[in-house]
Amino acid sequence: MPVTLPQLHDKFERGEPLVMVTAYDFPGARAAQAAGVDMVLVGDSGAEMVLGYPSTVAVSTEEMLMLTAAVRRGLQEPLLIADLPFGSYEASDDQAVMTAARFVREAGAQAVKLERGNATSVARAVAIVQAGIPVMGHVGLTPQSATALGGNRAQGRSAEAATRICREALALQDAGCFAIVLEAIPAAVTEELVSLLRVPTIGIGAGPAAAGQVLVFHDLLGLRDGTGARFVRRYANLGAEAVAALSNYAEDVRARRYPAAEHCYTIEPGELAEFRAALGNP
């Protein structure tokens, strides 16, 4: 049966860890589906992972809708959440609600996620929730505003910064968010936050105290260059395997080892003779 928000909250209340992963296409969605995760996030990290942009801020609403719709076609059970891209919700409550509604109506998302817990994002979260669309919050390192935060680095490492993140998380909870992502903050700060919040927290580089964890699909499968952030754990090295497979394929083609007889279709000798005769080649 499809995962619902009440089911997620029940798991949270029972202390069962929640599993979330990103996906950006049909094959990724099918893999997440088969693995039995609780939630799939179509993150704006797809801008970098699959579209080749230098940062998340470049991805458009239309592109995110396309990615979300592709994931939707590959999912049955996990809850599908879509990131609202940069510039698609900040201007006004009306803009935020219209964008969120498009992800639900056109792409099949069941919830949306927005970044930051400042006054603007909190107001937009309230408007979207009041429109009947579930919202997931996101505090700590928020990639859409990484430039203002000094780059993609850990947040909340001073008392002042940790207090700000706490205020933002509580504000998003009060706005009606059903869960909050905590990204790249000290594990000890997460421990304090989870003791204050009544909604599930989903950690990414935030330590083990969060109610659940999320990793980027390409990070955990080794499908991107480099080692990634400190919190990334690679569970496979599919990138290297893909390069090796493609190299072997190229070598076989150049050596005329592929395709071999077993890869070819056949035609009955009589049909072949008739065909050759029609071509004037008896």
Residue 177's Cβ-count burial label (10 Å; 0-12, 13-18, 19+) is buried
Mean pLDDT of 225-242: 88
pLDDT for res 149: 66
Catalytic position from the list 183, 241, 268, 271:
183
Helix (H) or strand (E) holding 111: strand 111-113
Q: Each residue of 248-272: pLDDT tens digit?
A: 999 999 999 999 999 999 999 999 9
Half-sphere exposure of 191 (CA within 13 A, CB side): 5
Q: Which of 25-39, 187-201, 222-236 is the least confident region? A: 222-236
Segments of the chain assigned to CATH 3.20.20.60: 5-236
Q: Above 80 in pLDDT, residue 280?
A: yes
pLDDT for res 147: 61
Is 13 known to be catalytic?
no
pTM for the model stands at: 0.93
Compute the mean pLDDT over every residue in the chain, rounded to the nearest whole number: 95
57, 144 Cβ separation under 8 angstroms: yes
Whole-angstrom Cα distance, residue 231 to residue 28? Answer: 21
Positive or negative CA dihedral for 120, 211, 29, 219? positive
Q: Each residue of 118-149: pLDDT tens digit?
A: 999 999 999 999 999 999 999 999 988 866 66
Q: Does domain 5-236 have CATH number 3.40.50.300?
A: no
Whole-angstrom Cα distance, residue 100 to residue 60? Answer: 14
| Tokens matching residue 131 | 């429109």
Helix (H) or strand (E) holding 243: helix 238-254
Q: Above 90 in pLDDT, residue 282?
A: no
Positive or negative CA dihedral for 237, 143, 202, 76? negative
